[in-house]
Amino acid sequence: MAPSHLSVIDFSSKTLNNTSSSWITTCNEVMSALEEHGVFIAMYDGLPQELNDRIFLASRDLFDLPTEVKLLNTSDKPYHAYIGSIPDSPLYESLGIENATTEEGVENFTKLMWPSGNENFCKSALMFSKVLAELEHIVTQMIAKSFGIEDQYKSIIESTNDVLRLQKYSSPKKNEEKTQGLVAHRDKTFLTVLHQKEVKGLEIQTKDGQWIQVDPSPSSFIVMAGDACTAWTNGRVEAALHRVMMKGNQERFSLGLFSFVRDMNSLPSLHQ
Ligand SMILES: O=C(O)CCC(=O)C(=O)O
Ligand SMILES: [Fe+2]
């Protein structure tokens, strides 16, 4: 039976040198965690506390905008734009910033939401996306190494588009039992890197059917494989089934970098 806990993997700067033996050890840990659960918790010291605080304050400002402004966040691709008032997850609301690791991507979004500008939001969102992308790229490099194609990991990154999603869950009514914040699903991404602030809610299903709650902390990030990773690895890495359950009278904010594959044919092929 699968162990009913998620792997916690150290990504502090000391493991980031890809010639060190700890890098190889981390590579193996990443691959076995992804094969076991499709997800792991990365302990990563790349996000300064000040930026952590700033990005969550900035996302509060964003959700405080009138709905008609948030509805301007549109896209022709699913999961890239504003989502709100969905019948099976009424507490959930989210917006998406395409090309979130580029100045242009974040500036375009900021101008749409605040035509007279919001430098604090713009800077925080860009810096935050870059931190998450750095972690995502290290994990991608490790996956590529495990498949013997480390020299091609950049072409995986170039085949994806990073969308920063900002997510808010309103508090359920007081004294209620756990209420669904977001319906159980697998992401369509190659990888998703999530970061939650203080309020718990994210749950991941293990292969033995148990739901495990993931506790938030400023230095922990949830790295999840999505459907595109399952397709690319021919099922070797299964995307993690996850959901959000809310309890109590606190609202919840979470942020995620979602790497969507532009064209599956542009990913390097695996000869397993
Ligand atoms: O809010 C979270 O922690 C998870 C969000 C999520 O799973 C999603 O937007 O796909
Ligand atoms: Fe998700």
Q: Is the complex ipTM higher than 0.85?
A: yes
**Atom number, ligand 1, closest to the C-alpha of residue 194:** 3
Best residue for ligand 1 mutational test, from 167, 190, 245, 250 (most atoms within 8 Å of Cβ):
167
Q: What is the model's pTM? A: 0.96
Q: Does domain 8-261 have CATH number 2.60.120.330?
A: yes
- Average confidence (pLDDT) per 10 residues, the chain, 272 residues: 76 75 91 96 95 96 97 94 92 97 98 97 98 96 94 95 97 81 96 93 93 92 98 95 93 96 92 62
Q: In this structure, what DSSP letter does residue 89 have? A: E
- Cβ atoms within 10 Å of 209's Cβ, excluding its own: 9
Looking at residue 1, its pLDDT comes to 45
Would you list the domain boundaries of the chain? 8-261
Q: How far is the CA of 193 from the centre of ligand 2 (A)?
A: 10
Check if 187 has its Cβ closer than 6 Å to any atom of ligand 1: yes
| b/e burial code for range 99-126 (CB count within 10 A of at least 16 → b) | bbbeeebbeebbeebbeeebeebbbbbb
Taking CA atoms only, the protein residue closest to ligand 1 atom 10 is 187
Ligand number, closest to the Cα atom of 222: 1
Cα–Cα distances in Å, from 260 out to 26, 219, 226, 264, 267? 24, 24, 9, 10, 12
